[in-house]
Chains A and B, each alone.
Chain A
C-alpha cells in the first residue's frame, strides 16, 4: 500500500470512529438559565462582619461555631449572645465569647474571626450579634439541637460549586424552606462547595452566597460540613468550617437528639485505615440509636461516575451495622437507590440518596444501573429534606423551584433494640 493510501485509510478509519462516537453519545442536558439577581451579600469593608456561617460538629445540642470575615484585621472580635432577643443592643446580651482572629490561608488579605459557643442549652433559640472592633452585625438567631427523642427536620445537599447563579437560587430555596418549616435544624453539606478549594476568591463568593440562606427574621441555618474532592488538601475548608472532626481529618459523628446519628466522613483521605476503624467504632457504639445515616462526598453507588473507596471500605460496615441511609454527593444528579445488601437489592439493606444539586450543573444520570430499579434518578438542582420522627424517616427531594421530585419513607429497623 502506498504511503498516501495508508494515510487516507488511517484518517478515514479515525474519522468514522469519531463520527460513530458522536452519533451514539447520550443526549444530555443544556445549560441552566442564568439568574440575573444582584448580589445581596454584605460588603467586605473595614471590620464589618461578612460571610457569616454557623457550623455544627459533634454536639449541636450544646455547641456551635460561628465564623465571619472582615476585610481588615480587627483588634478584637466577639459574639454577644443570649437566649432572648436583644435587638442587637450589645450591652443587653448576657453572654460574650471572644473570637480567635486569623488570616485565611491566601495571598489575599482577608481575616477570619471564629467563636466557639460551648455549654449551650439544648433545644433553645439563641440570639446573637457578631462584633469586630466597633462594627457589629445585625441580630441573628439559631436553634440548638434537641437532646431527647424529639421530631425534627434536617436538610441535605452537596456540590454548590461552579455555577454561582444556580447556587444562589438554591440558597434562596434553602431560606424558603427554613422560613416555612421552623422544625428544620441544619443543612448537612456533602462537599464540593467551590471548584478550587485552595482559592480564597471562590470561598469568598461561596460565603457571600451562603448569607442568602438566612431568613428575613435573621434565622441562620447551621451547616454540618463534609469535605469534597474539590477541597482535597484545602486549608481553607478547615478555616471556613472550624476544623470539623480535626484539622485535615474531617470525619466525625453528629448526634441530633437521642435517636439520630449522622456520621460525616471524608472521602479525600484514606478510607480504609483510621477512618474505617472510626466508622466501625461509632456504629458499634450507637447500635441502639434508631436512625443512623452517613454523609460523605464520593458515592459508593454513583448515578454517573465510578464508585469511590467508600464501596470497598465503608459499605460492608454500613451493612454490618444496618445503617439506614448513606447521603452521597459528587455526581451532579438526584438519586435514590433501592435498598442494597451484599451488592444486590435487599429490603434489609442500605439506601443511598444524593447526589449533589446545590448549584453545580446537573448531569443526566445513568438510570440503567441495577441499583436504580425500585429507586429514582433525575437531573435537577435539588435539596433533600429529612423529616425525622419516632416512627418514620421521610426523605423528600425538592427541586430549586420547590417542586417535590421524590419522596421515600423508612420505618425504624427491628434490629435497633437488640
Chain B
C-alpha cells in the first residue's frame, strides 16, 4: 500500500484519541454517564456499564485501526465510524449536561470526532475528507478562541502553571491579557484556514497558519498532562486531533504549494 501522509496521520490520531477516551472512561465517568444517569434517570450501574462498554470498544477500535495497512480497510472504517459516533455522542451529552456555554462544546470537540469521520471519508472521497479536516480544525480553534476571550479560568491557570514551570510568577491580570490575545489568534486562525484551503495559488507564507495551529493544538493538548500530571494523560490524548488535523493540512499543502506558485 503506498504511503499516504493523510491516512497515516489520521489513523495515528484516531488511535490515540480512542486510547485516551478509553483511559479516561476507565478512570472517571464522562458526560454520557451523566446524561443517562441524571437526565434520563438510568440506574447508576447501567449508565456506568454503557460507558465501560464504550471504553472497551474504544480500545478495540484503536487496535483495529492499523488494520488498514494490511489492506483491511473495512475493519478500519468500522472502527473509525464507531469511534466517531461515540465521540460525537459524548460531545452532545456534554452539551446537554454542562451549563457553561454549552453551545461551544460541539465545535470545541469537532476535531476529535471529525478526525474519525475524515478517516472514513478518505476511503471514498479525498477532497471531502480534507474539507472536513479544514472545517473541524476551524471549529475547534474558533470555539477555544471564544472560550479564551471569555477568560476561562482553567486556561488562565494553564498560563500561570506554564509560567511557574520556568520560574515566572505570572500575575493573573497579565495571564488574562495573554489569554485574550490567544483568543484573538485562535479566531484569526479559524477564519483564515478555510480561506487558505480555497486559495488556488497558495503562497508558502500561508502555511504558517496550519503550522501554528498544529503546534498550538499539540502544545495545548500536552498542557493537560503538564498541569495535572498522570490524570491529565487521557485528556492530552483525547486532544491530539486539535493539533494533528492542522498538521495534516500543513503536510498536504506543503507538497502542493510549490506546484501552485
Contact = CB atoms under 8 A, between A and B. Distances in A.
Interface stretch (B55-63, B107-115, B136-144, B214-222): B55-63
A231 interface: yes
B256 interface: no
Contact of A6 (B48, B54, B74, B100): B74
A172 B49 CA distance: 34
A273 B57 contact: no
Identify whether the interface residues of B are mostly helix, strand, loop, or mixed.
Answer: helix
A11 B172 CA distance: 51
A355 interface: no
A17 B60 contact: yes
B52 A29 contact: no
A30 B37 CA distance: 10
Nearest to A231: B99
Contact of B172 (A24, A229, A232, A270): A270
A269 B160 CA distance: 13
Contacts of A85: none
Interface in A1-56: 1, 3, 6-7, 9-11, 13-14, 16-22, 24-31
Contact of A271 (B41, B44, B51, B157): B157
Contacts of A10: 64, 74-75, 78-79
A82 interface: no
A22 B171 contact: no
Contacts of A19: 53
A268 interface: yes
Contact of A272 (B28, B50, B161): B161
A21 B157 contact: no
Interface in B10-31: 27-29
Interface residues of B, number: 52
A216 to B, nearest CB: 33
Contacts of A25: 45, 48-49, 51-53
Nearest to A202: B99
Residue from the set A16, A18, A232, A234 with the largest chain B CB neighbour count within 10 Å: A18
Nearest to B70: A1
Nearest to A196: B99
Given A25-B49, A270-B157, A363 B44 contact: yes
A304 B52 contact: no
Given A7-B78, A10-B64, A28-B44, A233 B154 contact: no
B154 to A, nearest CB: 7
B46 interface: yes
Contact of B157 (A26, A272, A306): A272
A7 B74 contact: yes
A231 B99 CA distance: 7
Nearest to A276: B160
Interface in A323-338: none
Contact of A13 (B41, B45, B64): B64
A28 B52 CA distance: 13
B101 interface: yes
B27 A28 contact: no
A232 B44 contact: no
Contact of A21 (B37, B52, B156): B52
B43 A3 contact: no
Nearest to A271: B157
Contact of A18 (B46, B56, B67, B228): B56
Contact of A28 (B46, B73, B79, B160): B46
A306 B231 contact: yes
Contact of B75 (A6, A195, A196, A360): A6
B53 A21 contact: yes
A313 interface: yes
A21 B56 contact: yes
A20 B27 contact: no
Given A270-B160, A304-B28, A229 B100 contact: yes
A183 B92 CA distance: 47
A268 B28 CA distance: 20
B72 interface: yes
A249 B170 CA distance: 19
A306 B233 CA distance: 12
A162 B38 contact: yes
A14 B57 contact: yes
13 contacts: A6-B74, A7-B75, A17-B53, A22-B49, A28-B43, A28-B44, A229-B99, A233-B101, A233-B150, A234-B99, A272-B160, A273-B171, A361-B37
Given A6-B73, A18-B57, 17 more contacts: A7-B74, A14-B57, A18-B54, A18-B56, A21-B54, A21-B55, A22-B53, A25-B49, A28-B46, A28-B48, A30-B43, A30-B44, A197-B99, A268-B153, A270-B157, A273-B171, A309-B157
